[in-house]
Structure formats: structure tokens, C-alpha cells
Chains A and B, each alone.
Chain A
Amino acid sequence: MITLDLIEKNQLGKIVAIDTDLLPLKLIEMGCLPGNEVYLEQLAPLKDPMYLVIDGCHLAIRTEIAKNIKIELI
């Protein structure tokens, strides 16, 4: 199990746990929920922010937020 900020390109992950207190509700509402699949679409220069596809939803978040999401590589 790793945190989401460590995911690399061409890896597919599954969200295992999220830290509700530290995540914006908006992110949860956009599908960042345990059980959903996630992969990395692209990294901005300096590896931040991250452009992710979570459960089919294309969005970008900063790595410090991604640290609060635990995933399992599949």
C-alpha cells in the first residue's frame, strides 16, 4: 500500500483509504472514494500538481493532498 503521491505513469491503483479530515469534500464528491480506480495521466513540471483520473473523472490535485490518500497498486 502506498500513498497516491507516489503513483507513477502506467500504474493502475485502487483507493483503499482516505483521510476525511484532511481532504476537501469536493474531491470526495468527484469520486475520490475507497474502492475506486485511479491512474496518473500526467505530472506538471516539478511533479506538482498531479493530473489524475479517478473513477473516470479527470482532475488535478497537489501532491500534499495526494499524501492523504492511500492506494493499492493493481
Chain B
Amino acid sequence: MSKTINVALIGNPNTGKTSVFNALTGLNQKVGNYPGITVEKKQGSCRLNQTTKAHIIDLPGTYSLNASSMDESVVIELLLNRNDKDYPDVAVVISDIENLKRNLLLFTQIKDLKIPTLLVINMSDRMVDKGISLNVNKLEQKLKTKIALTSTRENKGIEFLKTCLLDFRSLSKVGCLDITKIDEAYFGNLQKVFPDQSLYKLWLVISQDVNFAKIERKKVQDATEYKTQPISHLKRLQQKETIKRYQYINQSLKETYSVDQSKATDYRSKLDRILIHRLWGYIIFFLILLTIFQVIFGWSSIPMDFIDERFTKLSEYTKINLPPGLFTNLLAEGIISGLGGIVIFIPQIAFLFLFIAVLEETGYMSRVVFLMDRGLRKYGLSGKSVIPLISGTACAIPAVMATRNIENWKERLITILVTPFTTCSARLPVYLILISLVIPEGKFLGMGYQGLTLMGLYLLGFAMALLSAGILNKMLKIQSKTYFVIEMPNYKLPLLKNILITVFEKTKSFVVEAGRIILAISILLWLMASFGPGKEFNQAEEIIMSRSKVKSFTAEQLENEIASHKLEHSFIGILGKTIEPAIAPLGFDWKIGIALISSFAAREVFVGTLATIYSVGNDQEETIKNRMKAERKSDGSLLFDLPTGISLMLFYAFALQCMSTLAIVKKETNGWKWPMIQLLSMTLIAYLSALIVYQILV
């Protein structure tokens, strides 16, 4: 009979908490969301011995239990709610050897919650380099805990950590700080009112707005009366608490932890002198960005071409080898074509996630924030907006979530509103196919026109984001304090395992999420294209046959004529025809109109939609691109010519065609007001710019 213990990993950001999590769980992990909120929830399992398993939950990184963001309040809520199924049997506080003092602040807070607490001191491989010496046994006595010295880089100490976890019952539950010492009158009074409650828990509930689980809240409901204290008084008490904690920590570290500066090598300062130099810093950042784009587009094309070809073959194979009928058509024309549209850009998304993960793991991202803060402030953004804007090139959804560590509400709101302008990977397949259709292959200064166009579209996205941020900054009248604080962590070589797991998890969840929508839409589209009302659709063959001009047609021409007549009078055709007058001035026909409508679910549907529409009733062995190339207007000229192509690209560059982004913005801004404003203004900008450009070019 095996039993399971609940383990919670808690720690400051940049302590290698995730490395410890990965070392313990390997690939036995899953990433989801906390119910109702979009904070990432990572959990995994790890076998400790024959009979015991650990269920490990990796809590979001936090500097203390005084929550200032949604991610941090998740930590407090779990630790205060004994009835939560994830409530830890043992809390593991991860610290890093270099910042032990600051990391211990959180440790003392967790310990005061009277949860069995184990201390992990990670990155022990750096002790020699940094001239650090540590007396583990003595520190264990001082802090009344068990310490596991680990190095995830050298894979040391993890087995020892597991044995410590097994032995969690022997951990002391004695707290660190006598909280009444902060203000005896105040806390004495509090204890009198709630004699059977833990004072520190009460204090946490009083000192911050955390949305506690119902049961716990009922018990301490009356405690909120104590909130009537002026905020400044509460803050002063929090400051006093912090001072007391540091006194305790300094006391504990005095005889146990020492740094011999003469032996320490400080490559952080040396690297910083170059990487955030007022000139070189920017040049290096620009070169890094350039390399990223080069790699994404250069390296991805090979696997992408391969995937494209495979899916086209698969679709044909299905048609030939399965018995003909409705189901086979749905599979070959609806589902496989639609899925091909998403699978094809897995390589690019994976590369992008890879680079973002590397930039974050190495500690370079904080430097970018530092470099860009002043410049971005002009536009009402923060240096921390860089991370959302860069991750926005992968997907706006994680990017909007990444705005959470922007402390200033106005800066955060503006970042959320403009992030969808950055060129997300869902726009890529649209751009790629349109560019290859309408932009010639020539070269300019050694760079292909096509590559330059793509680069231009990315720059356009950033420029539009900045421009609209500047306008919003002038328009929005929101007063909020600036609380910009960012840690500048030491540089680290990224751990391959961490990077690979991150890339795998993120790509997987992206593909699953997007795939689900695309699958549903492909099926719906196929149904709408395969059926229609009235006799125009149902008697298409007779109608075409009765026309005199078909007499000279070959069998193949005849079939095409019937198929296109059917499509035009199917449900989807009628829908497309209805909106055609509105989009005709932009150079779009009703088939593109259908793709635009379905793109409002998600942009990446565009290619899949066209594939579905064009392949209905089409048996030829052709790729999507060739089918699009063959499309003609009623006057016989090419449908996808330069003006239409450019107009369409601009529309996709500016329009907010993504239901998931709207949903996440609604969650992050607590209401429909901002997502609706965002949707309307972005659609308007897209429509007008496409209209103007098409009318000029045509």
C-alpha cells in the first residue's frame, strides 16, 4: 500500500526553484491553471521510496508572504487553507547560497505558519567561486530545521532531499519570530479577541487583501475589523516585522555563514559593464533580436516544408484509401487540412519559446528591462513591458499574463492593451503564405524581398504597439504610484533540462489549446461548405448542365464548375457573399471574407479555412499555396495580387482576431470594458489601414 505526501516548493524568484522541481519530478509533471484564475499551476510526482510518493506542487516565486500580485496570493491562500487538497504536509523553501539572507525572510514567514519546513540551499556549486563558507549543522540548529544542500547543475543533493522529505515528521514546528514583539499592545489585544487563532495567520489576513477560501475566511471574518487601522500604520507594522525578521536572520547567519571577498570572482559586474553599457548594451540587444528572427525563419522552413508536404499527402491518402462518403470527406477536407494549418508552425513556436526561455534563465531579461525602462516610460510603458512585448511574438496570451509583474496599474493596462499588436506566431502562417504569393523573389542589398517584408511586418507591429501606447498614455487619466523594483540576478548558464521542459510544456499547451479551436472550426466550416439551402445548391449539377457554354467543357472543367457553384450557394458561401460589399473596397472577395470571419476565433485558422474552402470538391494533388495562386477574380485577373496581398497583411497585422486574447484580457482587467474597447479600436485601425493602402495601390 503506497501513501502520498503533499510537498510544496516555495522560494524567491531566481533561486532555481524550478530546477529543483524538474530534478525531483522529471517529466512526471503537469502544468495547468488554478481554478478561476490564470496563474500557472505546476505539479508533479516523485517516488521517494517503495511505499511513499510525493505529490509536489511548484508554487509561484515570491519574495515574501506579503502578496502584491495574484501569483503571490496563490501561495498564501494555499498555505492558510488546511482544507485544500494540496495543503502541504511539508513546505520546502528553496534558497540560493549567494542570496541566503534575503531568501531566509520567506523561510521565517513560512515557519511561523507552523508548517513543517525544510530548507534547501541550492547552487552550492558556487560556494568555492564566491568564497562562501557555511556551517550547515550549526545553521540547522539556529533555524530549527533540516537543511539540504543541493546543486541542480551538478545533480547533487537531490537524493538527500528525498530522504529528508520522507522524514518530514521529525521537522520542528517551532516558529522563528514572536510576533507580539512587533507591537505588544496591538497584538496582545488581537490575541485576546481570538484566543484560539494563530496570531501570525490573523496578521496575514489583516494586513492584506487575499481572497481566502471560504471556510478559513469564516473563522477569521471578524478579524477584518482590525483593518480599520490606517493603512500607514499597518505598513509601519509590516516594516517593523521585516526588521525583526532580519535581526533574527542576521543573528542566525553571524556564526554560520561567511563570505571571503578576496576569493570571490565577480563576473556579474564585469558582464554588466558590457551588457548594460549605454551604447554596447543596446547594440547587443538589437543583435540578439536579429539573431532570434533569423534563426526562427531560417531554421524553421525545413521542418515546416516537410510538415506541409506530409499533411497534403495524408489528406490524399485518406481520400484514396477510405471508402468514399461523407465521413471520409470530413476527415480529409475538414479535419486534416485544418490541423495541418496548426501543426505546421510548431517549429517556429518551439524556437521562439526556446529563445525566450534562454533569455530568462540566463538572467539577461532583467538587463533588458533595465535598459529599456526609461525609453518605454515615455510611451506610458515600463521596462517590464519588454517581456510581454517580446513574448507577444510567440503568443499574446502568455504575454498578457506576463504583465502581472508590472507594479503600476496604468503601465500594466497600457501594456495589456497594446501587446496584441506584436506579431504573434498565429499571424506567421498568414504572412508567410501571402508573402510567397505576392512578393517577388528578388534581392536587395543581399536580403531577399520576402525576408525584408516579413521583418517589416514585425517592426510594424512593434511600432503600432508603441504608437498606440503613446496615445493611450495621453488619454488615460489614471493615477497610480510607481513601484518599479527589479532584481538583477547573477548570470547563469541555462540548464538544458529546464529549457527543454519549458519549451516542451509551452509548445504542447499552445498546440492543444489552438488545436482544439481549429478542429472545431474546421468541422463547422466543412459542414457549412458541404451543405446549403434551396435548389441552387442541391440541384447544382442540373443547373450547370443546362447552361449552353458547358457543352465544350472537358469532364474536369465541368466538375470544377459544379463544385464552385455549389460552394457559392452553400451556407458558408451565402455568409461570405453577405459581407462581401463591406470588404470589397479592401480588395477581398467572399472566400477571403469567410476566412476573415473564422479568423475571429483565431488567426491561424486563416490558412486552414482557405484550405478547407478550396479543397471542397477538389481532388487535385496540390498544396494550399498552389490552390491560392490559381484563384482568379471574375474578370480573370489573379485574386492574390500585390494590392490585395498587402491589404490583407495589414488587416491581419492590426486586427484583434483572437477570442482567447479577449478572454485573457477580460480576466486580467476584471471586466468586458477593456477587451471590448481593444477589439473595436483594433478592428477599426485594421479596416481603415487596409482600405487606404488598397485604394492607393490599386
Contacts and interface: CB of A to CB of B under 8 A. Distances in A.
Interface in B436-494: 481-490
Interface in A16-46: 20-22, 24-31, 33, 41-42, 44-46
Interface string A41-63: 11011101101000111111110
A20 B235 contact: yes
Given A20-B239, A33-B246, A44-B371, A26 B485 contact: yes
Interface string B277-317: 01000000000000000000000000000000000000000
Contact of B373 (A30, A41, A49): A49
Contacts of A42: 272-273, 276
Contacts of B272: 41-42, 51
A59 B278 CA distance: 18
A58 B64 CA distance: 17
B487 A57 contact: yes
Contacts of B68: 24-26
A19 to B, nearest CB: 11
Contact of A48 (B99, B242, B373, B481): B373
Interface string B78-108: 0000000000000000000001011001000
B508 interface: no
Given A20-B232, A26-B485, A61-B484, A56 B374 contact: no
B63 A30 contact: yes
Nearest to B487: A59
What secondary structure prevails in chain B residues at the interface with A?
Answer: helix
Given A33-B246, A42-B276, A51-B272, A21 B482 contact: no
Nearest to B68: A26
A30 B102 contact: yes
A21 B236 CA distance: 8
Given A21-B235, A26-B483, A29-B63, A49 B102 contact: no
Given A25-B68, A33-B246, A48-B374, A59 B488 contact: yes
A73 interface: no
Interface in B259-285: 268-269, 272-273, 276, 278
Nearest to A26: B485
B101 A29 contact: no
A64 interface: yes
A contact patch SS: mixed
Contacts of A30: 63, 102, 485, 487
B489 A58 contact: yes
A60 B370 contact: yes
Given A33-B242, A49-B373, A57-B99, A27 B485 contact: yes
Contacts of A64: 482
A62 B484 contact: yes
Contacts of A57: 99, 102, 487
Contacts of B40: none
Interface residues on B, range: 35 or more
**Which of B99, B268, B485 neighbours the largest number of chain A CB atoms within 10 Å of its CB?**
B485
Interface size class of chain A, counting residues whose CB lies under 8 Å from the partner chain: 20 to 34
B61 interface: no
Interface in B64-80: 64, 66, 68
Contacts of A65: 482-485
B276 A44 contact: yes
Interface string B239-259: 100110010000000000000
A72 B640 CA distance: 70
B515 interface: no
Contacts of B366: 60
Contact of A44 (B236, B278, B482): B278
A58 B268 contact: yes
Contacts of A62: 373, 482, 484
A24 B407 contact: yes
Contacts of B485: 24, 26-27, 30, 59-61, 65
B627 to A, nearest CB: 52
B383 interface: yes
Interface string B488-517: 111000000000000000000000000000
A61 B272 CA distance: 16
Nearest to B372: A44
Interface in B368-384: 369-371, 373-374, 383
15 contacts: A21-B232, A24-B407, A25-B66, A26-B68, A26-B485, A28-B239, A29-B66, A44-B373, A48-B373, A51-B276, A55-B101, A58-B488, A60-B366, A60-B486, A62-B482
Given A29-B64, A51-B276, A62-B482, 19 more contacts: A20-B235, A20-B236, A21-B232, A24-B483, A26-B483, A29-B102, A29-B242, A33-B242, A33-B243, A44-B371, A44-B373, A45-B371, A56-B102, A57-B99, A58-B488, A58-B489, A59-B487, A59-B488, A60-B486
Interface of B: 63-64, 66, 68, 99, 101-102, 105, 232, 235-236, 238-239, 242-243, 246, 268-269, 272-273, 276, 278, 366, 369-371, 373-374, 383, 407, 481-490
